[in-house]
Structures are given as C-alpha cells and as structure tokens.
Amino acid sequence: MKVKPAQIREQAAQFLAEGRFEYQEIAEKIGITVRALHKWRRDPKFAARVDELSREFSQSALKRAIARKEYRVNVLANKHSELLTVMEERAVDPELAGIPGGKTGLVVRKPVTSKDGICGYEFVVDTGTLKELRSIQEQVAKELGQLVEKKDVKLRSLKDMTDEELAELVAEVSESGDDSTGSTEGD
C-alpha cells in the first residue's frame, strides 16, 4: 500500500508538534529531505496544523496524573510516609536498641571491611534518608507555594528612590501578597 503525500505531511506535523525529534530525524523517519520539511514548515496551512497538534498534545499532557499538582503531592506524601515507616521499623530493631540513637530509627548498621573481608560493623546515622525526607518536604512546599525564597534586601530611603524604583517596589510588594498595613481582609 502506497503512502499518500497528505499522510506524510500529517506525520511530519505530528512529529514537529511532539517536539521530540530534530528535523533530520523526522525527515529520515518519513522519507523526505530536511529541505522539504523546512519548506512545509513555511506553509501557513502546515504551520497551523503543527500549532493545532501542539496544543492538543499540551492539553493531553496536562490531563496526565504527573501533570496534576494533587497527584504529585500525593506521591511525595506516600514516599515520605514510606521513609518514616522504614525509620519506625528500624527503631524497634532489638540489635539497635542499645546503640546511642538506635531507637530513633536514624541509625543503620554499616559493614566495616579490612583486607581480609568484613571484620565487623559500625553504627552510623542514615544521612541519606534524612536528606531524602528534607528533599520531599521541600518539594511539597514548592508544589503548594509555601516555600519562600530568601532575597538579599538592601534598605534604602524612599526619598532616594526614583519614581520607577518606587513603582517597582510597590508592584513587588503587591505580588508577594505582603500586607504591611496590618489590616485584615474585610476591615
């Protein structure tokens, strides 16, 4: 069965809209030259089709679970809970009960090796788990808009500022939701 030129153009438009492949790869996949692909790209109808497909792909991607904040936060919460469960289970390990910090679940047994092989164990704080817990907590805070980036602020007198700088400061304070007047909503 012979492939029609309209089908080839549609396939090219789909590849371009996906944005996964370079022009050379697309041309090879559909059996055309890169030059032809560039020529099609300049055609208003073809460009409109690529834009339409691109919007469709974007809308479809936004419907996927990973694109939804609630899903991502839920996954992070589950991973956080699982790490805490690991720590809780370690905390009741009788071998760790007599070790300083062993009942916290933060201590792990690490093999100590010599030239001859394993000669024993040492007990260390599991910094990897702690780091992952902090990372999850930070990501959740970012997802929920609760993480505030620190800024270095140099205080200047308002009388020394230009009108543009004052306007920029007012806009910045308005965007951050900072209500420095002390009033509350509904006053």
Q: What are the 10-residue block averages of pLDDT along the chain, 187 residues in total?
A: 82 92 93 93 94 88 78 92 94 91 92 82 93 94 84 75 86 69 46
47 & 76 share domain: no
Domain annotation covers residue 157: yes
Please, which residues have CB within 8 angstroms of residue 119's CB and are 6 or more apart in sequence?
112, 113
Structural domain containing residue 32: 5-63
Domain annotation covers residue 117: yes
Strand partners, 123: 109
98 & 26 share domain: no
71 & 142 share domain: yes
> How many domains does the chain divide into?
2
Q: What is the DSSP secondary structure assignment for residue 21, as one 8-state letter?
A: S
pLDDT value of position 180: 47
Please, which residues have CB within 8 angstroms of residue 53's CB and are 6 or more apart in sequence?
13, 14, 16, 17
Q: Say what the pTM is.
A: 0.50
pLDDT value of position 177: 62
